[in-house]
């Protein structure tokens, strides 16, 4: 029982990332009808927003401290981050400590802008082109984004730390009456799960409870009619693209402490997120979220030792196997609408 | 000749000539000149031209003719490499055992993967093939380590059985004693031409592969594949089942990929799982698109251009850039070099990404179409239909639409 609980918990954080990326992919596909292979790159750029902010806050100047001497007897050089000199040492240190959550604020405008620029600059011209062309051009774009990041940040993963308040783990089992140290779960992963739940809820409320969202949903159902009603649906769809990019970016920002960002992390997630979208049902937002969590949890179940003993290597391929099964038996996915992209 | 009409025979002869003369044609600059760095006549690079040419020709039979975009062809490349290296380990270094096995095995895998994947079309097909390729990649890295040797890559060790190994036999890949990595160097004045056994082996196989693909393009079977690309629904309405045809195309292109993978291992007796990663599949898509989808010459051209640029661009470093742009005023030079250094050296992938995007956006027909447009600009007589020896498919709606 405790093992099962632990695997569910372990699956949730990866599942959260899958769900957020897949949600963005589905938003883009549902509104603009574009298959975006560059979405993983947006996730990666989000993670690098966190890295950049941490570096930016860490910028420091050197002063000589005459009271201390180094081993040669010269006055010791002390590095003081600018932030600490502006806000005082304590305040400054805690701002640096909290850089990853702060990067959320920092990344939203960046991601919205990147999304907007991508849609207006490139994707716009590909509405009428075949899906294959869309896949190819966004694949090219993903390579370019990846290489730009690689050029400035190098090819190695960059460790990015979570705030010290969230370091350490929660002994989850004790709270449910199990023995201590059976179900241990890092705080930051809990935060990540809560954060993704909040983001996903926000996106759904935005779509369901605002006029803007209503128009967008109407546009997803029948773009032409909405256009005939005199509503500038294209502009709204562009904004939705920006929002989808921001969701992917946010997923990346908060993921940085879990897995040190490197330039190709986006590609790894992209393939899986596409599989998630397909399993959930092309164009179904709820399906994307549900399938994201489902596959995340399934993946962590498959990595349990006794299952691996029965079927070796199952943890590596379980997601793909599920996708193949779903595509062959129920091509519209778990929650896809009938008739949408079924062949 | 050989069942080809006059024009195709001429075309094939030109291709044969170009392939055989490659070691000379790619060494246009004398060794002592500063332009010598643009020479491409080394065995390693020429072998890659031929091998990736085969890979792209095969991929084009699937993508170019039927329009099914596979993102999983790298899996077959890997299978080909592994089977050849296994034959080295079990029998001996003669490539004659490994290559047929590579083709057969990858054909079998293609049959299974294709049978499942081809039940869907469009983007679903791409994702299914991608899923299969990623599965093979992950398995090759983890559970299949006894077969694939995991991250280290499969190679021949001294304690391998090698039951056919003779006492005097060379200890590197060879064909009945013709050692692949041996070459004859000819110095003509300031020029050095390298005639490599391995290259000529690959080149002959590439010519055969090209000939087979030419025959497929001209056959009723090829016509059927084109019909699938232009309108599969109509084909179904006429009572024809398209799936056996697409499956055959998939298997053929998988076999080509396996052959290319086998040849890679024939040149260098190593096989690693990274050959199966989906970025490798992306590379062959890139080559085909860059050269021209659905044309005979396009994929080969694309493979050549990509591999050549990869080689040249990754060699250029900051000193080379400084020597090129030294004549510019200092501030401007700094700026130009700042921009240019993104694209050279390890930034080569960026160049290929940009190139790829530009081709998809502005020149969907690839370099072949670009060439035709330029040609049409010069002899502006219209009627380009007559001037289309390769029967390029017209811009038909894609299956994915």
B398 touches chain A (CB under 8 A): yes
* Chain A residues with beta carbon closer than 8 angstroms to that of B132: 320, 324
C-alpha–C-alpha distance, residues B401 and B395, integer Å: 13
pLDDT at A14 over 70: yes
Q: Is B223 on the interface with A (CB under 8 A)?
A: no
Residue A343 contacts B, CB cutoff 8 Å: yes
pLDDT at position A68 over 60: yes
B98 touches chain A (CB under 8 A): no
Cα distance between residue B229 and residue B223, in whole Å: 10
Residues 6+ apart with CB under 8 A from A14: A296, A299, A300
**Interface touch B123/A312, C-beta < 8 Å:** no
Which residues face B186 on adjacent strands? Answer: B193
Spatial distance between the Cα atoms of B364 and B291, rounded to a whole number of angstroms = 10
Instruction: Let me know if residue B142 belongs to a domain.
Output: yes
- Phi, psi values for residue B194, rounded to 5°: -110, 120
Give the list of residues 6+ apart from residue A227 with CB closer than 8 angstroms, or none: A219, A233
Query: Quick check: B343 contacting A, CB < 8 Å?
Result: no
For residues A61-87, average pLDDT: 74
CB contact under 8 Å between B360 and A140, yes or no, is: yes
User: pLDDT value at position B400?
Assistant: 47
Q: Which helix (H) or strand (E) holds A277?
A: helix A265-280
Residues of chain A neighbouring B236 (CB-CB closer than 8 A): none
Could you tell me which chain B residue has the CA closest to the CA of A127? Answer: B401
Using a CB-CB cut-off of 8 Å, the residues of chain A touching B122 are: 131-132, 341, 343
Q: Which residues of chain B have pLDDT under 70?
A: 1, 380-401
- Top-ranked range on mean pLDDT: pick from A162-166, A262-266, A289-293, B93-97: A289-293
CB pair distance less than 8 Å for B119 and A328: yes
CB–CB contacts below 8 A, A to B: 123
Q: Cβ of B361 and A137 within 8 Å?
A: yes
Interface touch B356/A143, C-beta < 8 Å: yes
Check B123 against A139: CB less than 8 A apart.
no
Number of domains in chain B: 1
Which A residues in the span 263-302 are in contact with B, Cβ-Cβ below 8 Å?
A: 267, 271, 274-275, 278
Give pairs for A120-127: CB < 8 Å, separation 24+.
A120/A238, A122/B357, A122/B361, A123/A32, A123/A34, A123/A36, A123/A241, A125/B361, A126/A34, A127/A32, A127/A33, A127/A34
Q: Which residue has the tokens 């960002």?
A: A261
A307 contact B CB<8A: no
**Which DSSP state fits A101?**
H
Residue of chain A nearest B287, judged by CA positions: A136
Q: Which residue has the higher pLDDT, A343 or B226?
A: B226
For residue B92, tell me if it sits in a domain. yes
Secondary structure of chain B in HEC code, one letter for each residue: CCCCCHHHHHHHHHHHHHHHCHHHHCCCCCCCCHHHHHCCCCHHHHHHHHHHHHHHHHHHHHHHHHCCCCCCCHHHHHHHHHHHHHHHHHCCCEHHHHHHHHHHHHHHHHHHHHHHHCCCCHHHHHHHHHHHHHHHHHHHHCCCHHHHCHHHCEECCCCCCCCCCCCCCCCCCEECCEECCCEEEEEECCEEEEEEHHHHHHHHHHHHHHHHHHHHHHCHHHHHHHHHHHCHHHHHHCCCCCHHHHHHHHHHHHHHHHHHHHHHHHHCCEECHHHHCHHHHHHHHHHHHHHCCCCCCHHHHHHHHHHHHHHHHHHCCHHHHHHHHCCCCHHHHHHHHHHHCCCCHHHHHHHHHHHHHHHHHHCCCHHHHHHHHHHHHHCCCCCCCCCCCCCCCCCCCCCCC
> Quick check: B323 and A127 in contact, CB under 8 A?
no
CA proximity to A308, closest of B145, B143, B144: B143
Supply the pLDDT for residue A63: 76
**Cβ distance of B350 and A323 shorter than 8 Å:** no
Range in A27-41, A79-93, A252-266, B278-292 with the lowest mean pLDDT: A79-93
Q: Is A55 on the interface with B (CB under 8 A)?
A: no
Question: At a CB cut-off of 8 Å and minimum separation 6, what does B318 contact?
Answer: B337, B341, B345
Tokens of A18: 């899958």
- The alpha-carbon gap from B368 to the nearest alpha carbon of chain A, in Å, equals 18
Mean pLDDT within A92-105: 83
In this prediction, residue B386 carries a pLDDT of 52
pLDDT at A172 over 50: yes
The whole-angstrom distance between B274's CA and the closest CA on chain A is 14
What's the rounded Cα separation, in Å, for the pair B262 and B338? 41
CA dihedral over A127, A130, A136, A139, signed as positive or negative:
positive
Average pLDDT along chain A: 84
In a domain, B127, yes or no: yes
The pLDDT score that the predictor gives to residue A246 is: 92
Which domain, by its residues, includes B116?
6-29+40-276
User: How many Cβ atoms sit within 10 Å of the Cβ of residue B244?
Assistant: 11
pLDDT of residue B401: 42
Q: Pick from B127, B289, B346: which is nearest to A275 by CB?
A: B127
Cβ pair B350, B343 in contact under 8 A? yes
> Could you tell me the sign of the dihedral formed by the alpha carbons of B123, B129, B130, B135, in that order?
positive
Of the two residues A148 and B4, the one the predictor is more confident about is: A148
Asked if residue B111 is part of any domain, the answer here is yes
| Chain A residues within 8 A of B361 when measuring between CB atoms | 122, 125, 137
Chain B nearest-CA distance from A221, in A, is 18
The 3-state DSSP class for residue A81 equals strand
8 Å CB contact of A343 and B353: no
Percent pLDDT > 90 in chain A is: 14
Whether residue B120 and residue A151 make contact (CB cut-off 8 A), yes or no, is no
Look at residue B79 and tell me if it is in a domain. yes
CATH of A2-61+100-329, one of 3.30.1400, 1.10.3470, 2.60.40, 1.10.8: 1.10.3470
- On the question of pLDDT at A133 being above 70, the answer is yes
Please give the structure tokens belonging to residue A119. 């849609």
Q: Which residue of B lies nearest to A29 if distances are taken between CA atoms?
A: B123
pLDDT of residue B251: 95
Residues of chain A positioned with their CB less than 8 A from the CB of B362: none
Alpha carbons within 13 angstroms on the beta-carbon side of residue A177 total 1
Q: Exposed, middle or buried by CB within 10 Å (0-12, 13-18, 19+), for A164?
A: exposed
Query: Looking at the partner chain, which of B122, B285, B360 has a beta carbon nearest the beta carbon of A343?
Result: B122
Cα–Cα distance for residue pair A291/B208, rounded to 1 Å: 47
Position B134 in a domain: yes
């Amino acid at each position: 029982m405790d093992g099962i609980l632990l695997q569910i918990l372990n699956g949730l954080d990866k599942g959260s990332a899958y769900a957020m990326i897949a949600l963005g992919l589905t938003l883009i596909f549902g509104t603009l009808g574009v298959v975006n292979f560059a979405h993983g790159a947006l996730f990666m750029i989000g993670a690098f927003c966190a890295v950049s902010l941490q570096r930016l806050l860490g910028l420091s100047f050197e002063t000589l401290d005459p009271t201390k001497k180094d081993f040669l007897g010269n006055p010791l050089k002390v590095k003081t981050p600018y932030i600490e000199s502006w806000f005082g040492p304590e305040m400054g240190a805690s701002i640096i400590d909290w850089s990853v959550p702060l990067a959320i604020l920092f990344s939203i405008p960046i991601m919205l802008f990147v999304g907007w620029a991508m849609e207006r600059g490139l994707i716009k011209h590909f509405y009428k082109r075949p899906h294959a062309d869309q896949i190819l051009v966004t694949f090219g774009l993903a390579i370019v984004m990846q290489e730009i990041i690689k050029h400035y940040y190098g090819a190695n993963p960059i460790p990015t730390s979570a705030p010290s308040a969230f370091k350490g783990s929660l002994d989850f089992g004790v709270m449910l009456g199990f023995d201590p140290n059976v179900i241990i779960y890092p705080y930051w992963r809990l935060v990540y799960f809560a954060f993704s739940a909040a983001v996903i809820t926000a996106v759904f409320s935005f779509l369901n409870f605002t006029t803007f969202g209503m128009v967008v949903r109407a546009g997803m159902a029948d773009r032409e009619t909405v256009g005939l009603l005199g509503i500038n649906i294209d502009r709204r769809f562009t904004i939705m693209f920006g929002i989808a990019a921001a969701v992917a970016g946010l997923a990346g920002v908060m993921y940085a402490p879990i897995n040190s960002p490197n330039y190709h992390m986006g590609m790894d997630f992209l393939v899986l997120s596409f599989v998630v979208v397909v399993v959930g049902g092309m164009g179904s937002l709820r399906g994307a979220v549900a399938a994201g969590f489902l596959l995340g949890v399934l993946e962590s179940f498959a990595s349990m030792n006794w299952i691996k003993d029965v079927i070796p290597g199952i943890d590596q391929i379980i997601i793909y196997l599920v996708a193949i099964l779903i595509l062959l038996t129920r091509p519209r996915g778990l929650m896809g609408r009938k008739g949408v992209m079924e062949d | 000749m050989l069942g080809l009409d006059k024009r195709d025979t001429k075309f094939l002869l030109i291709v044969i000539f170009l392939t055989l003369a490659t070691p000379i044609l790619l060494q246009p600059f004398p060794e002592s000149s500063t332009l010598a760095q643009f020479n491409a006549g080394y065995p390693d690079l020429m072998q890659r031209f031929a091998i990736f040419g085969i890979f792209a020709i095969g991929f084009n039979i699937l993508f170019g003719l039927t329009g099914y975009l596979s993102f999983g062809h790298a899996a077959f490349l890997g299978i080909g490499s592994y089977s050849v290296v296994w034959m080295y380990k079990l029998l001996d270094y003669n490539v004659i055992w490994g290559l047929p096995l590579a083709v057969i095995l990858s054909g079998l895998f293609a049959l299974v993967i294709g049978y499942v994947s081809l039940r869907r079309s469009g983007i679903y097909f791409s994702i299914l093939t991608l899923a299969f390729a990623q599965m093979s990649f992950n398995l090759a890295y983890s559970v299949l380590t006894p077969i694939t040797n995991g991250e280290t890559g499969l190679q021949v060790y001294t304690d391998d059985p090698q039951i056919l190994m003779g006492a005097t036999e060379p200890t590197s890949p060879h064909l009945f004693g013709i050692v692949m990595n041996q070459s004859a160097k000819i110095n003509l004045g300031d020029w050095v031409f390298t005639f490599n056994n391995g290259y000529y082996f690959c080149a002959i196989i590439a010519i055969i592969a090209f000939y087979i693909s030419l025959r497929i393009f001209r056959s009723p079977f090829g016509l059927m594949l084109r019909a699938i690309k232009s309108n599969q629904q109509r084909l179904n309405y006429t009572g024809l089942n398209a799936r056996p045809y697409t499956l055959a195309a998939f298997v053929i292109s998988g076999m080509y990929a396996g052959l290319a993978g086998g040849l890679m291992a024939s040149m260098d007796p190593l096989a690693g799982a990274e050959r199966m990663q989906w970025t490798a599949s992306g590379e062959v898509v890139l080559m085909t698109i860059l050269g021209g989808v659905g044309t005979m010459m396009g994929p080969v051209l694309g493979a050549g251009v990509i591999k050549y640029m990869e080689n040249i661009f990754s060699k250029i470093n900051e000193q080379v850039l400084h020597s090129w742009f030294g004549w510019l005023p200092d501030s401007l030079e700094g700026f130009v070099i700042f921009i240019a250094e993104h694209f050279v050296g390890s930034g080569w992938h960026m160049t290929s990404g940009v190139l790829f995007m530009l081709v998809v956006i502005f020149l969907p027909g690839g370099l072949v179409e670009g060439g035709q447009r330029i040609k049409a600009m010069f002899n502006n007589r219209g009627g380009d239909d007559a001037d289309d020896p390769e029967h390029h498919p017209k811009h038909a709606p894609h299956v994915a639409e």
